Chains A and B, each alone.
Chain A
Amino acid sequence: MTKSQVAMKINGKSVEALVEPRTLLIYFLRDQLGITGPHIGCDTSHCGACTVDLDGKSVKSCTVFAVQANGGNIITIEGIANPDGTLHALQEGFRQMHGLQCGFCTPGMITRAYRLLQENKNPTEEEIRYGISGNLCRCTGYQNIVKAIQYAAAKLNGVPFQEAAE
Chain B
Amino acid sequence: MIPGSFNYHRPKSVQEAVGLLAKLGDDGRALAGGHSLIPLMKLRLATPANLIDLAGIAELKGAGADGNDIVIGAMTTQHEIIGSDLLAARIPLLREVALQIADPQVRYLGTLGGNVAGGDPANDMPAVMMCLNATYHIAGKSGERRVAARQFYQGTYVTALAAGDVLTAVRIPAPAAGHGYAYEKLKRKIGDFATAAAAVVLTMKAGKVETCSIGLTNVAATPLLAEEAAKILIGSALDAATVKRAVGAAEAITSPAEDARGPAQYRTKMAGVMLTRALARAKSLAKG
Contacts and interface: CB of A to CB of B under 8 A. Distances in A.
Given A45-B35, A64-B34, A22 B2 contact: yes
Contact of A59 (B1, B3, B105, B190): B105
B4 interface: yes
Contact of B51 (A2, A21, A59): A21
B102 interface: yes
Interface residues of B, number: 29
Contacts of A1: 5-7
A76 interface: no
B39 A44 contact: yes
A27 B105 CA distance: 18
How big is the A interface, by class?
Answer: 20 to 34
Interface in A1-48: 1-2, 4, 20-22, 24, 27, 43-46, 48
Nearest to A19: B8
Given A1-B6, A44-B39, A46-B191, A60 B34 contact: no
A122 interface: no
B191 A58 contact: no
A51 interface: yes
Contacts of B108: 57-59
A118 B185 CA distance: 29
A24 B2 contact: yes
B1 to A, nearest CB: 5
Interface string B45-57: 0000001010100
Interface in B102-159: 102-106, 108-109
A57 B79 contact: yes
A133 B190 contact: yes
Closest 3 CB pairs of A and B: A134-B103, A21-B8, A57-B108
